[in-house]
Chains A and B, each alone.
Chain A
Amino acid sequence: EVQLVETGGGLIQPGGSLRLSCAASGFTVSSNYMSWVRQAPGKGLEWVSVIYSGGSTYYADSVKGRFTISRDNSKNTLYLQMNSLRAEDTAVYYCARVGWFRELLWGQGTLVTVSS
């Protein structure tokens, strides 16, 4: 069974850093495109970042220069390193496997709250 489990969320002060993890099972992270998508409380969905199977990475303008997507092939895990966090980064962060038709298959999400 394909499964994605995100961890690492929590309460963090503005300017702080946090690393989210997404442990995958039932498929190989490194052979797939993998994305992070976030949802602010009561709001819609916003794409954050993608890592391609070849290793190329891309980011939304809102997080470029502050967030870094990566993966550990030995652990079959995707990461999102978030630095210089702002209040507007408060959201549930979902990791997702990108399918053949670029559709998204989602984990359960982890909540990040940026507040003093």
Chain B
Amino acid sequence: DIQMTQSPSSVSASVGDRVTITCRASQGISSWLAWYQQKPGKAPKLLIYAASSLQSGVPSRFSGSGSGTDFTLTISSLQPEDFATYYCQQANSFPTFGQGTRLEIK
């Protein structure tokens, strides 16, 4: 199985801050990577697919980059509704997920 490692596991930030979350795959996955946002009691919501493609309806302050084994999710200017947990998912083989990054209000 391909292991996905996210960092940090949690981060505190303020509204307006720029935040970057990283995800590393245990082997190369080309651009087969997605990012999700999950709020408490809700299903995950797709933000980014194919490493850098923005899902329809997702604000442009979210962006993704990377290929191979190293990927990043960047939120350019945090909004109050962005405080949530974020997961990466490799799509190169049967899906595996990072352990999640909890984004908290500072």
Those 9 A-B pairs whose CB atoms lie nearest each other, nearest first: A102-B91, A103-B49, A103-B34, A106-B43, A45-B97, A47-B95, A101-B50, A101-B49, A44-B99
9 contacts between A and B (CB under 8 A): A37-B95, A44-B100, A45-B87, A103-B49, A103-B89, A103-B91, A104-B44, A104-B95, A105-B46
Inter-chain contacts of A107 with B (CB < 8 A): 43
Q: Does A60 contact B (CB under 8 A)?
A: yes
By a beta-carbon cutoff of 8 Å, the part of chain B in contact with chain A is 32, 34, 36, 42-46, 49-50, 53, 55, 87, 89, 91, 94-100
Interface of B is mostly: loop
Q: Which residues from B are CB-within-8-Å of A99?
A: 46, 49
| Total number of A residues with any Cβ neighbor in B under 8 Å | 20
Question: Which B residues are CB-close (under 8 A) to A106?
Answer: 43-46
Q: Is A72 among interface residues, defined by CB-CB distance under 8 A?
A: no
Is A46 located at the chain interface by the 8 A CB criterion? yes
Smallest CB–CB gap between A91 and chain B, Å?
Answer: 13
Could you say which of A46, A58, A104 has the most chain B C-beta atoms within 10 Å of its C-beta? A104
Which residues on A sit within 8 Å (CB–CB) of B43? 94, 106-109
